[in-house]
DNA sequence: AACAATTCCAACCGCGTCCAT
DNA sequence: CATGGACGCGGTTGGAATTGT
């Protein structure tokens, strides 16, 4: 498209972030919030492009990130969501507070894909591999006549639309695939069906559990911590904060509560970020943080 | 112990979408 | 309505860490 680069890359640093860079970015965002990513590196004194800063914040520095391995329940839910949404990682990630799209995408590509293959399921179509190939060959002719509209993974609205548009024969084929799938991998897919039926409720429950639970390591071997967990005093805004990258430190909460929450968060991320290194750089980080 | 192969994940890249002008 | 800038998303890659020989 001839699109111009997002920023002037001359003289900009690339590659892994250093602790000092993390500190600068974290310090800047916690002090000022996020208004324009393009300006963040300039104002924070970083030789990075805004895009890189945004990614670093979202995938690593964000206080509400949940660390640690995915649980089996999470994996199952990812599989279920992927069967409905396809590779829409950000949409899938929105069902997992504290998880990033990148994290889920990586986990899918490295673990879940293999798990599905071991179960004899096609990671793309979520159908038994052999049967899928059979059906593909059966319906290849009619698919060819409809160029450009082949999308194996669509969300509910798109599925509905597609079903309205496709001929009855194709719907029948889809139903056959569905029933064969149920026969061949009954237990696994039964779970998925159940999850599918309860997905909306499930996601609500999941969110509530996330915000109500004080335990941070129930299913993970490593420490996990949610910013919202430390902000339970601010319950009125917890749901809206779930998908918000901005830490929203400038909300209605009192300064004391914010400082308490910040201290609690720092205590919990000690194992993730080496604050000792930060301290060596600039003394106690808390003392240098200005909460709006 | 040394090397090769594999796994894993942080970060980059390019494109699509949104929105202000 | 057209254009351009900024952001967000998904695909891909580089290299560190781990495992196997």
The residue with tokens 């060819």 is: A144
Distance, in Å, from the CA atom of A30 to the CA atom of A262, rounded to the nearest integer, reads 10
The pLDDT of A228-234, averaged and rounded, is 35
Per-residue CB contacts under 7 A with strand B, chain A residues 149-188:
none
- Dist CA A44 CA A64 (whole Å): 21
Question: How would residue A262 be classed by pLDDT, with cut points 50, 70 and 90?
Answer: low
Residues by Cβ under 7 A, strand C: A 3-4, 6, 36-38, 50-51, 54, 87-91, 101-102, 105-106, 109, 245
Q: Is there contact between A237 and strand B, defined as CB under 7 Å from any strand atom? A: no
A128 burial type by CB count under 10 A (0-12 exposed, 13-18 middle, 19+ buried)? buried
* Residue among A57, A66, A67, A59 at smallest CA distance from A30: A57
A148 by Cβ neighbours in 10 Å (0-12 / 13-18 / 19+) ranks as: exposed
Domains of chain A: 19-64+226-288 (no CATH), 68-225 (1.10.10.60)
- CA A42, A5, A17, A26: dihedral to nearest 10 degrees? 40
pLDDT band for position A227 (cuts 50, 70, 90):
very low
Å from A15 (CA) to B11 (C1')? 7
Of A155 and A204, which is predicted with more confidence? A155
Q: Which of the 28-67 residues on chain A come under 7 Å of nucleic strand B at their beta carbon?
A: 48, 51-52, 55-56, 59-60
Nucleotide C4 C1' to residue A2 CA (A)? 12
Strand C bases contacted by the protein (CB, 7 Å): 5-12
Q: How far is the CA of A3 from the C1' of C2 (A)?
A: 16
Asked if A6 CB < 7 A from strand B, the reply is yes
Give the integer Cα–Cα distance in Å for A134 and A122.
Answer: 13
CA distances (Å), origin A157, targets A8, A147, A149, A153, A163: 40, 21, 15, 11, 10
Phi, psi angle pair for A121, to nearest 5°: -110, 140
Could you tell me if A85 and A92 are in contact, meaning their C-beta atoms sit under 8 angstroms apart?
yes
Do the Cβ atoms of A242 and A66 come closer than 8 Å? no
> Between A267 and A74, where is the model more confident?
A74
Greater confidence (A214 vs A92) lies with A92
Which among A169, A161, A113 has a CA at the least distance from the CA of A141?
A169
Confidence of residue A265 (pLDDT cuts 50, 70, 90): low
Q: How far is the CA of A176 from the C1' of B18 (A)?
A: 40
Predicted TM-score (pTM) above 0.85: no
CA of A1 to C1' of B14 (A): 9
Angle at A173 between CA A171 and CA A176, to 5 degrees: 110
> CA(A271)–C1'(B21) in Å?
47
Higher pLDDT, A220 or A157: A157
Number of residues that make up chain A? 292
Instruction: Return d(Cα A122, Cα A100) in angstroms, integer.
Output: 24
Tokens 């548009």, residue? A165
**Residue-wise pLDDT tens digits, A1-45:** 333 445 555 678 888 898 888 888 988 888 888 888 888 888 888
């Amino acid at each position: 498209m001839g699109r111009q680069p997002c920023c002037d890359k001359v003289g900009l640093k690339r590659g892994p972030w250093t602790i000092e860079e993390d500190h600068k970015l974290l310090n800047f965002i916690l002090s000022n919030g996020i208004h324009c990513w393009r300006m963040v590196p300039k104002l924070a004194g970083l030789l990075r492009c805004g895009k890189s800063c945004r990614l670093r914040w979202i995938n690593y520095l964000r206080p509400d990130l949940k660390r640690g391995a995915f649980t089996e329940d999470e994996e199952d839910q990812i599989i279920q969501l992927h069967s409905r949404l396809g590779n829409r990682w950000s949409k899938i990630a929105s069902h997992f507070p504290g998880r990033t799209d990148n994290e889920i995408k990586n986990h899918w590509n490295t673990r879940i894909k293999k798990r599905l293959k071991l179960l004899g399921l096609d990671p793309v179509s979520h159908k038994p591999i052999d049967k899928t190939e059979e059906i593909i060959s059966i319906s290849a002719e009619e698919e060819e006549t409809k160029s450009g509209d082949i999308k194996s993974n669509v969300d509910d609205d798109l599925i509905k639309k597609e079903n309205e548009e496709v001929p009855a024969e194709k719907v029948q084929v889809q139903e056959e695939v569905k029933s064969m799938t149920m026969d061949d991998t009954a237990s696994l897919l039964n779970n998925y069906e159940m999850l599918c039926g309860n997905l909306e409720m499930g996601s609500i429950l999941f969110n509530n559990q996330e915000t109500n639970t004080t335990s941070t390591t129930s299913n993970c071997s490593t420490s996990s911590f949610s910013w919202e967990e430390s902000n339970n005093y601010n319950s009125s805004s917890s749901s809206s904060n779930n998908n918000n990258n901005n830490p929203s430190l400038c909300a209605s909460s009192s300064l004391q509560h914010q400082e308490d929450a910040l201290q609690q968060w720092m205590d919990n991320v000690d194992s993730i970020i080496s604050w000792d290194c930060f301290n060596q750089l600039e003394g106690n980080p808390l003392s240098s943080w200005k909460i709006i």
